[in-house]
């Protein structure tokens, strides 16, 4: 199952990835930036979209890069650790590390397991694990956001098609499993957004602040 990977290496990838993914960049950025606790603002989410509601684009950018970067870093470290292994083994370990980092963002130990929805971490992880897949998913988000002006809808579509892109670009199956794993968990975390979408009540990009306040 683990392509000859040692149990120690697998444990390192999973535990290390999870702890790295648990770093709450949104909370850290807003507190150090003097914008308060992002969990008491807007939707209460710790991601970049909610950080932007503080009016601080710089803090939102830091959060976006941090949340995406931690997923990418987990994958990169696992890749370095398997440079002398077979490609299938490398795909397995990087996928495990990326999945663990994503899980850490959604359920961070430092915040009582109450984290974000994982969109930025999803993209960062995918770009590091299979950059054509990550870029294609990102392009999907951009196109959907341009057409419909709804950030959550764009994210949900990108999450759904990412596993298909893995096969379209001929990347290893473990990457597709990782993409599917992240997509399913993120869909669960987007449950309120999905309900609002079905009711036609989801706020649009650039809409009024009041429209963006529902908890999610």
Say if 15 falls within a structural domain: yes
pTM for the complete prediction?
0.92
Do 90 and 9 form a contact (C-beta atoms < 8 A)? no
In whole angstroms, how far apart are CA 185 and each of 111, 130, 168, 182, 215? 18, 20, 23, 5, 18
3-state SS assignment for residue 159: helix
Say if 82 falls within a structural domain: yes
Rg from Cα positions in the chain: 17
- Residues 113-170 have pLDDT tens digits of 999 999 999 999 999 999 999 999 999 999 999 999 999 999 999 999 999 999 999 9
Report which DSSP code applies to 214: S
In the prediction, which pLDDT does 95 show? 98
Say if 140 falls within a structural domain: yes
Say if 171 falls within a structural domain: yes
**Cα(144)–Cα(202) distance, integer angstroms:** 14
Say if 2 falls within a structural domain: no
**Cα(1)–Cα(107) distance, integer angstroms:** 26
State the residue range of the domain holding 27: 7-212
Do 10 and 22 form a contact (C-beta atoms < 8 A)? no
Angle at 67 between CA 38 and CA 195, to 5 degrees: 65
Tally of structural domains, the chain: 1
Say if 1 falls within a structural domain: no
Say if 119 falls within a structural domain: yes
Question: In which residue ranges of the chain is pLDDT below 50?
Answer: 209-216
């Amino acid at each position: 199952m683990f392509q000859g990977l040692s149990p120690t290496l697998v444990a390192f990838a999973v535990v290390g990835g999870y702890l790295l993914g648990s770093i709450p960049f949104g909370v850290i950025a807003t507190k150090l930036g003097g914008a308060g606790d992002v969990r008491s603002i807007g939707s209460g989410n710790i991601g970049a979209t909610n950080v932007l509601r503080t009016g601080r684009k710089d803090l939102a950018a830091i959060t976006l890069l941090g949340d995406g970067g931690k997923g990418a870093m987990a994958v990169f470290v696992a890749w370095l650790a398997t440079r002398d292994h077979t490609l299938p083994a490398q795909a397995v370990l990087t996928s495990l590390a990326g999945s663990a980092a994503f899980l850490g963002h959604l359920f961070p130990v430092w915040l009582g397991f109450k984290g974000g929805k994982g969109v930025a971490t999803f993209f960062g992880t995918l770009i590091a694990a299979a950059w054509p897949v990550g870029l294609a998913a990102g392009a999907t988000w951009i196109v959907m956001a341009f057409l419909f002006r709804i950030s959550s809808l764009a994210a949900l579509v990108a999450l759904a098609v990412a596993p298909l892109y893995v096969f379209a670009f001929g990347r290893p199956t473990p990457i597709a499993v990782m993409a599917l794993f992240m997509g399913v968990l993120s869909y669960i975390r987007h449950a309120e957004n999905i309900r609002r979408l079905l009711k036609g009540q989801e706020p649009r990009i650039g809409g009024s602040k009041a429209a963006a306040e529902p908890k999610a």
